[in-house]
Amino acid sequence: MKVDRLLGILTTLLQKDCVTAPQLAEKFEVSRRTIARDIDALCQAGIPVVTRQGVGGGISIADGFRLDKSVLTTDELTGIIAALKGIGSVTERSKIERTLDKLGANSGSVVSLREPVVIDLASFYKGQLTEKIEAIKRAIVEQRVIEFDYYYEKGQSRRMIEPYVVVFQWASWYVFGYCLERRDFRMFKLTRLWGLEVSDEVFAMREIPEERQEFGSSYSSHFTDEIQLVALFDKSVKYLLIDAYGLDGYEETDDGLWFEFGFTNRGYLLSWLLSFGGKVKVLEPADIAEELKAEAENILLRHKET
């Protein structure tokens, strides 16, 4: 939609000192003529957009500009502020603060920066995460291949990918790109990605298949609920089931919390069940129950040896 694109262009101009029309056209997947019309629309809305021709030229917003509340609705402005604050938890503070400053002068006509929603996207590894995100962002802009060690269920491997976008999804950060080893588009979790290097190898952008354009969602569409779990949980862990599956995720009985759900990843399921200790009894499938018993016996044996 045009309004969404105008918001995107405005946010881009607030964060960057100068951009070119071709860069904006590529970013928003429209023609340069459309970008020109959008810039005119921003000017008509009272936003002082400056265009400079020649080498080193481009599109920018006049120095000292503060975004007036009358240009956008309060909901739109607070949405931008909340998003910027969230991004600010894992990116360079100075850039975000400069943008927030433009959004919030001491004038009563500008929406308050005291957004009542706090979004902290950081993790225990915030320092390393910030460095990874900044390096990957630079590689994406410069269209350079990145290389890293990746740790996953089957072990460790060295990967080389053409990075396309950094994604926050499923409560974690990922890089989405074309894996040169697998010859396919893949998602890589940043907390499992170490030894990151930005190479000198430049790549040409590939066309992303339509089914992959929503990044990780295409993978979930191929998942099947191969393991149908039936389990009885102790009532004391009700809050954990609600946290993971909501109020309708179980049925309360006299014997406990009756839980039925389909799972795809066997390793994840076993780890999840083990996290409940003795407060869950697996009724079906039998092989999952047997594997849990074997793991419990192994844990007991290990602790007897100490």
Q: What is the pLDDT of residues 209-245, one digit of tens each?
A: 877 766 544 444 444 457 899 999 999 999 989 888 8
* The pLDDT of residue 214: 65
pLDDT at residue 247 above 90? no
Phi, psi (rounded to 5 degrees) for 79? -65, -45
Picking from 253, 254, 233, the residue whose alpha carbon sits closest to that of residue 245 is: 233
**What's the full length of the chain, in residues?**
306
CA–CA separation, 301 vs 306, rounded Å?
A: 9
pLDDT at residue 265 above 90? no
CATH of the domain at 78: 1.10.10.10
As a whole number, mean pLDDT of residues 130-159 equals: 90
Buried b (16+ CB within 10 A) or exposed e, 231-256: bbbeeebbebbeeeeeeeebeeeeeb
pLDDT tens digits for range 175-191:
999 999 999 999 898 88
pLDDT at residue 263 above 80? yes
Picking from 297, 298, 294, 286, the residue whose alpha carbon sits closest to that of residue 231 is: 286
Residue 95 located in a structural domain: yes
Supply the angle between the helices 93-103 and 2-15 in degrees, to the nearest 10. 120
Beta 193-202 vs 172-179: how paired, if at all?
unpaired
Residue 245 located in a structural domain: yes
Q: Same domain, yes or no, for 95 and 39? A: yes
* Residue that has been written with the tokens 């039998």 in this structure: 286
pLDDT at residue 69 above 70? no
Say which range, 22-31, 117-126, 162-171, 255-264, has the weakest mean pLDDT. Answer: 117-126
Q: Same domain, yes or no, for 26 and 78? A: yes
Return the H-helix or E-strand segment holding 20.
none
Q: Same domain, yes or no, for 189 and 135? A: yes
> 185 vs 88, which has greater pLDDT?
185
CA–CA separation, 36 vs 30, rounded Å?
A: 11
* The pLDDT of residue 109: 44
Say which range, 60-74, 163-177, 208-222, has the weakest mean pLDDT. Answer: 208-222
Q: Same domain, yes or no, for 206 and 242? A: no
> 53 vs 237, which has greater pLDDT?
237
* The pLDDT of residue 232: 97
- Give the rounded percent of residues in the chain with a pLDDT score beyond 90: 31
Summary mean pLDDT of the chain = 79
DSSP 190-247: GGGEEEEEEEEEE-PPPPPPGGGTTTTHHHHTT----EEEEEEE-GGGHHHHHHHH-T
102 neighbors 67 (Cβ within 8 angstroms): yes
As a whole number, mean pLDDT of residues 144-160 equals: 91
Residue 57 located in a structural domain: yes
Residue 13 located in a structural domain: yes
Residue 167 located in a structural domain: yes
* The pLDDT of residue 228: 92
Residue 120 located in a structural domain: no
180 neighbors 187 (Cβ within 8 angstroms): no
Return the H-helix or E-strand segment holding 160.
strand 155-169
pLDDT tens digits for range 286-297:
999 999 999 999
* The pLDDT of residue 267: 83
The pTM for the full model equals 0.57
CATH of the domain at 187: 2.30.30
Q: What's the domain range around 280?
A: 227-305
* Total of domains in the chain: 3
Confidence of residue 148 (pLDDT cuts 50, 70, 90): very high
> 146 vs 64, which has greater pLDDT?
146
- Give the rounded percent of residues in the chain with a pLDDT score beyond 70: 71
Work out the end-to-end distance of the chain between its first and last CA atoms, rounded to an integer number of angstroms. 64
Picking from 229, 247, 210, the residue whose alpha carbon sits closest to that of residue 286 is: 229
Q: Which CA distances in Å does 142 have to 202, 205, 229?
A: 8, 11, 47
CA–CA separation, 102 vs 97, rounded Å?
A: 9
Say which range, 2-16, 35-49, 85-99, 155-169, has the weakest mean pLDDT. Answer: 85-99
Say which range, 65-74, 90-99, 233-242, 285-294, has the weakest mean pLDDT. Answer: 65-74
As a whole number, mean pLDDT of residues 91-100 equals: 62
Residue 290 located in a structural domain: yes
pLDDT at residue 106 above 60? no
Q: Same domain, yes or no, for 212 and 238? A: no
Q: Same domain, yes or no, for 175 and 255? A: no
